[in-house]
Structure formats: C-alpha cells, structure tokens
Chain A
Amino acid sequence: EAQVTQNPRYLITVTGKKLTVTCSQNMNHEYMSWYRQDPGLGLRQIYYSMNVEVTDKGDVPEGYKVSRKEKRNFPLILESPSPNQTSLYFCASSLAGNTEAFFGQGTRLTVV
C-alpha cells in the first residue's frame, strides 16, 4: 500500500530535549516536505527536499533541521524544542511538478 509513515503519532517532551520525528514514503517520490498546522494558520511549510541531499527552507524553518540521506526518508529534527513548537506536524511526499501531495497521519507534539 502506497503510504507516508510518520512516527511517533503523539509526543510530549520538555523544553530543550532534542527529538526526531521520522518520515518514510514507499512511493519513490522525489519531493518531500514538512508542514506544521496550527489553528487558523493552515499548513505552513517548514522544510522541503527536491531529492537526496537537496533540502531547502520553507516559510517557518527556525528551530528545525532536516536531512535527506535516502530517497525514502526525511526526518525532522528539533535540536532544542521550545513551547512555541507545540503543534501538529505533517510530512508529505509527491512527484516533482506540483502533483498530488500524499500526507502522513501527523505527529501531535507538545513541548512543556
């Protein structure tokens, strides 16, 4: 089954404790991205990757890091999480060229 898998689904952590949210897709998509979703603000892009070893900043990259060492994986790293990073996070993948974006089920992160 074609899918984007994020882990974990839920995470509560404390300020400053490094964490990684994993994302994996099995559709051989070139393009992957991370979004955060906050009430009234829609989906805001954090980082995106056009292919292996190619990443770039989206609209709200501060406080986040990503890597794309393999085509299927695109982890999101919070080196020192802060409470304003409490949000619902989505990973998405697609073929290049503005085609359909396939989303993971989301990761609800709470930073206390």
Chain B
Amino acid sequence: TQLLEQSPQFLSIQEGENLTVYCNSSSVFSSLQWYRQEPGEGPVLLVTVVTGGEVKKLKRLTFQFGDARKDSSLHITAAQPGDTGLYLCAGGSKGSARQLTFGSGTQLTVLP
C-alpha cells in the first residue's frame, strides 16, 4: 500500500506570513495533485504536477514535485484568511486501478 504523509498536520499563522506544507512518501508517483477542502464541502483540485522537479505557481501558491517523484511541497506567500482550509495531497500511479492515494491533510488557519 502506498502511503503519503503530510506535515504539519495543523498550522495556525497570522495574515501575511509565509508557510510551507510537505507531502512525503517512500513510493514513486506518476503524478501528484493538491486539493483544498473547505468546511461542508468536498475537496477541490488546485494543481497537478507530473514531472520530477516541476514547479507550478497559482497566484501566491507555489507547488513543487520532488526530483524523484516521491514528495511534494506547497508554499503559500503572504497568507490570507481566505487561504484557510484543509490541504490534501494525492498521488497517482499509472496503471493503478485505484487512481489516487490521499495524504492525511494539513489544516491551515490564517488569522486576520
């Protein structure tokens, strides 16, 4: 069974601060997705990275896929209260019928 570990599990910061969330595994993934989930809603896809070393930016969010495709990070610059939510990483494996393996999530709270 492939496992994805996210850290930290909880993060509470002030508005304007920067933060990084990590997603690590001992397994290689063909793709890595990041989702954000708000209370009362299902997760919504933020980004997909597929190439080792790939970096994608989405406004103040920067996503990186590790060179070996075993880990990923999400960096948020100048966090805002609207960034508050549960961030989930999910690894995909080509040829696997089970599609995605999800990490345990990072609950981010940005205080005004």
Binding site for B on A (CB under 8 A): 4, 31, 33, 35, 40-45, 48, 50, 56, 58-59, 90, 92, 94, 97-101, 103-106
Q: What residues of chain B lie closer than 8 Å to A33, measured between beta carbons?
A: 99
Whole-angstrom distance between the Cβ of B20 and the nearest chain A Cβ: 19
Q: Is B78 an interface residue (CB 8 A)?
A: no
CB of B42 to closest CB in A, whole Å: 3
Secondary structure of the B contact surface, majority rule: loop
B45 at interface, CB cutoff 8 A:
yes
Task: Give chain B's interface residue range (CB within 8 Å of chain A).
Answer: 20 to 34
CA distance A99 to B30 in the complex (A): 11
Complex contact A105–B43 (CB within 8 A): no
Q: CB-CB < 8 A to B88: which residues of A?
A: 42-43
**Chain A residue with the shortest CB-CB distance to B5:** A42
Q: Is A98 within 8 A of B30, CB to CB? A: yes
State the CA gap A105–B41 with chains docked (Å).
5
Q: Is chain A's binding surface mostly helix, strand, loop or mixed?
A: strand
Which of B42, B92, B97 is the one whose CB lies under 8 Å from A105?
Answer: B42
28 inter-chain pairs at a CB distance below 8 angstroms, sorted by A residue, are: A33-B99, A40-B9, A42-B6, A42-B104, A43-B43, A43-B102, A44-B102, A48-B97, A48-B98, A50-B97, A56-B97, A58-B98, A59-B1, A92-B42, A94-B99, A97-B94, A98-B30, A98-B31, A98-B93, A98-B100, A99-B48, A100-B33, A101-B35, A101-B43, A103-B42, A105-B40, A105-B42, A106-B40
- Contact, CB under 8 Å: B102 / A98: no
Measured CA separation A92–B102 after assembly (Å): 13
Please determine whether B92 and A98 come into contact, CB atoms closer than 8 angstroms: yes
Give the CA-CA distance A97 to B48 in the complex, in Å: 13
The contact of B102 among A42, A50, A97, A105, by CB within 8 Å, is A42
